[in-house]
Structure 1
Amino acid sequence: MFRPRVHASHLHRAPSSLFSRHFSHPAAPAPESAPPATVLADQPELDLTEDQQPAFGLGSLPIIHPTRQFLESDPSLASEPSKFGDEISPHTEHLAVPPATSKTGAGGAGSVAVSSGPVPIVDTHTHLAEVFYRKRLPVSEVAWMSLLASYKHNELKHAAAPRVQYFINIASDPSAYDLNTHIAQFSPRISTVYGCHPLAAHKYTDTVHARLEELVKAPDCVGVGEAGLNYVDDVKLEKATRFLQRTVFESQVDMAARHGKTLVVHSRGGDADVLSILKSARQARPPRVVVHNYTGSVELAREILDVVPEAHFGVSGFVTFGVTEADGVRALARYLPLETILLESVAPYIAPEPHRQRVNHSGLLPFIAERIAREKGLNVEDIYTAAWENSLKAFPGIMR
């Protein structure tokens, strides 16, 4: 039975660490060029933060079939007019699905390998249930995703740079666990992180806890989360209270530790409590920690690395946003050690500039990598190489 506990120490900020061994002096960013003007009208519904995602109801969703006839299994996907007409959003050429083969190249239906050529990109944080079933992507891009289900890549021969080859799907809404287990069947290149988002903490019953205990044992599961604290949404806090969030977070920290899974952390407005809970779990903490969409301070990043030296930080499209909005995140991009950085789309949310008003997807990750490279004064290939190596360390199960 789920019997969580919360220590009083979780309510207080831990003292700032003086350790700075993980950080280097920031390189001067390259001169910034003006981004292309967006051609889309203001569409605030597409500029949602991850915390504004709607709750799922499985009753009206189609059955998912991991076959090439994905569109035919839900005719509405093919017949519904796209919000963007028939255009294909930029950078879909970065999406590719090579044939499934073993690491040694011997082949096999349930194994994958790095194809020869450019270093692959791992989207370490995407919400495929939202991408598929809230119908946020244009039809042409949903059609691409159907190729992922059937390992058919010949139609992508025109692709100039097939880079995005692995996807970590975040299943953090208990009402959508069944849907996400279906999505996991699409391809061995899709791995899953199962957990409970802090704003869904009121859904975390004994039944949900027991279900999670089983889901984290699944072959596709590479982590627990996204778990953590979100204190910035007053309306949702009426149900997912701070105390309840801390309780549910602590339970998932323990679960990740017991099962040897990566803990994916969500923190907005609750950084002090997140750090305190991680500190209190020192003796039985998860083997790996990923701080998703990190927007905290450099000082807090130092503290996290002091507590969890092997921690990684996800960088999203927010790093590309306007000067006044994201100066702090760009400073983080300069200060964070290269060996700690992961690339994450947070699709369909937080699309990078100059496509901020578009629906986000994994093919836009190069915009994030290019901005990180500019801030660090590096070549973008350096970012791709580091992000690939970091992804394998943070989520070793993706090469199953």
Structure 2
Amino acid sequence: MNPGNHEPPALVDTHAHLDAPRLRDDLPAVLERARTAGVRQIVAIGTTAEDSEAVTKIARDYAGVFAAVGIHPNDVFEATPEDWQRVLALLEEPNVVALGETGLDRYWDRTPFSQQQEWFERHLELGRESGLPLVIHCRDSQQDLIAQLTRFKGPVHGVLHSFTGSWEDAQAFLDLGLHLSFAGMVTFTNRTLDSLREVAARVPLDRLLVETDSPYLSPHPHRGATNEPARVTFTAERLAQLHTLSLAEFSQITTSNAQRVFKLPADQTL
């Protein structure tokens, strides 16, 4: 699955929903394809208490997989106090490296926005207490998110995942101390996404990460198909081109970034 004629890179997929049925039901093969493509480590993302427990078990069972635990803004409407306690209990697991997916979302209306803000604050406080980075979701709510992070008076450690905002948004998040991660949309052939590629090209290399958000957002030329961690190579190659780097150079930089942000041990690989 590695694009072009390059040697396999050494990449970290910083955002994959490995517990999703489309991946979980074929997980050994999914991880083997990732390893063959050059993916060395994966951060598996929880969105509910149940999902968080599932990705933590995957991280326990498979070398090179690490877990983020938390409640997604679109799922907090159904979350209970017991669910939060389940998330807190998972912090004792050695391969839990982040909190999330948390954040804000105005695109869907499943959860009242004030409740999303309350739970995002809860994750922020937990991040401060635990020292764990946050994996932050932001959809149609950039200004709300910037305002809440600014009120929090940081520092805020973590990543704005699958970034799709403007350069002004990017600057604000960078000023707040966050890293920015890009997914398959930077590879799509739509001219309307040229502005996103322009933003990606301007992000400082030491604050840049790459992800799949699998099983979603499969990159070109696999757009519309089920995404998986092996395909992070396509997104990485496009981002490398935008920064006028070789894939090997880009992989070395972003892997170092990911291992620093999530404190991933370099010797634990797929």
Confirm or deny a common fold (TM above 0.5): yes
RMSD: 2.6
Q: Residues 398 and 128 from structure 1, CA distance in 2 versus in 1: closer, same or farther, beyond 3 angstroms? A: farther
Cα offsets for 1:187-223 (capped at 9, x unmatched):
2311000011110011232111222222123211111
Which structure features the higher share of strand residues? 2
Q: Residues 242 and 329 from structure 1, CA distance in 2 versus in 1: closer, same or farther, beyond 3 angstroms? A: same
Corresponding residue of 1:171: 46
Give the drift of 1:118.
Answer: 6.4
The answer to whether the 8 Å contact 2:14/2:43 transfers is yes
Corresponding residue of 1:204: 79
Q: Do residues 359 (structure 1) and 226 (structure 2) align? A: yes
The answer to whether the 8 Å contact 1:123/1:164 transfers is yes
The answer to whether the 8 Å contact 2:48/2:70 transfers is yes
Corresponding residue of 1:128: 18
How many angstroms apart in 2 are the aligned matches of 1:176 and 1:372? Answer: 30
Q: Residues 219 and 290 from structure 1, CA distance in 2 versus in 1: closer, same or farther, beyond 3 angstroms? A: same
SS at match of 1:351: coil
Corresponding residue of 1:335: 202
How many angstroms apart in 2 are the aligned matches of 1:321 and 1:269? Answer: 20
The answer to whether the 8 Å contact 2:161/2:181 transfers is yes
Corresponding residue of 2:174: 305
Written as runs of structure 1 = structure 2, the 5 A alignment for 1:17-166 is 90-91=1-2, 120-130=10-20, 134-135=21-22, 142-145=27-30, 162-166=37-41
How many angstroms apart in 2 are the aligned matches of 1:244 and 1:205? Answer: 12
Which structure features the higher share of helix residues? 2
Structure 1, unaligned runs of 5 or more = 1-89, 93-116
Q: Do residues 247 (structure 1) and 118 (structure 2) align? A: yes
TM-score under structure 1 length normalisation? 0.62
SS at match of 1:261: coil
Aligned residues: 266
Match of 1:268 among 121, 131, 139: 139
How many angstroms apart in 1 are the aligned matches of 2:253 and 2:23? Answer: 30
How many angstroms apart in 1 are the aligned matches of 2:184 and 2:30? Answer: 21
The answer to whether the 8 Å contact 2:9/2:247 transfers is no
Displaced runs of 4 or more, over 3 A: 145-148, 397-400
How many angstroms apart in 2 are the aligned matches of 1:218 and 1:136? Answer: 22
- Matched residue type, 2:165: G
The answer to whether the 8 Å contact 2:240/2:250 transfers is yes
The answer to whether the 8 Å contact 1:119/1:388 transfers is no
- Matched residue type, 1:291: L
Q: Do residues 380 (structure 1) and 247 (structure 2) align? A: yes
Give the drift of 1:355.
Answer: 0.6
Q: Residues 365 and 298 from structure 1, CA distance in 2 versus in 1: closer, same or farther, beyond 3 angstroms? A: same
Structure 2, unaligned runs of 5 or more = none
- Matched residue type, 1:187: Y
Higher mean C-alpha deviation, range 292-301 or range 213-222: 213-222
The answer to whether the 8 Å contact 2:45/2:52 transfers is no
Identity percentage over the alignment? Answer: 27
Corresponding residue of 1:323: 190
Give the drift of 1:136.
Answer: 5.5
Give the drift of 1:296.
Answer: 0.7
The answer to whether the 8 Å contact 1:227/1:264 transfers is yes
Match of 1:394 among 253, 257, 261: 261
SS at match of 1:169: strand
Corresponding residue of 2:127: 256
Corresponding residue of 1:346: 213
SS at match of 1:128: coil
- Matched residue type, 1:381: A
- Matched residue type, 1:317: G
How many angstroms apart in 2 are the aligned matches of 1:178 and 1:259? Answer: 18
The answer to whether the 8 Å contact 1:166/1:398 transfers is no
The answer to whether the 8 Å contact 1:349/1:359 transfers is yes
Q: Residues 142 and 188 from structure 1, CA distance in 2 versus in 1: closer, same or farther, beyond 3 angstroms? A: closer
The answer to whether the 8 Å contact 2:56/2:93 transfers is no
SS at match of 2:213: coil
Q: Residues 178 and 378 from structure 1, CA distance in 2 versus in 1: closer, same or farther, beyond 3 angstroms? A: closer
TM-score under structure 2 length normalisation? 0.89
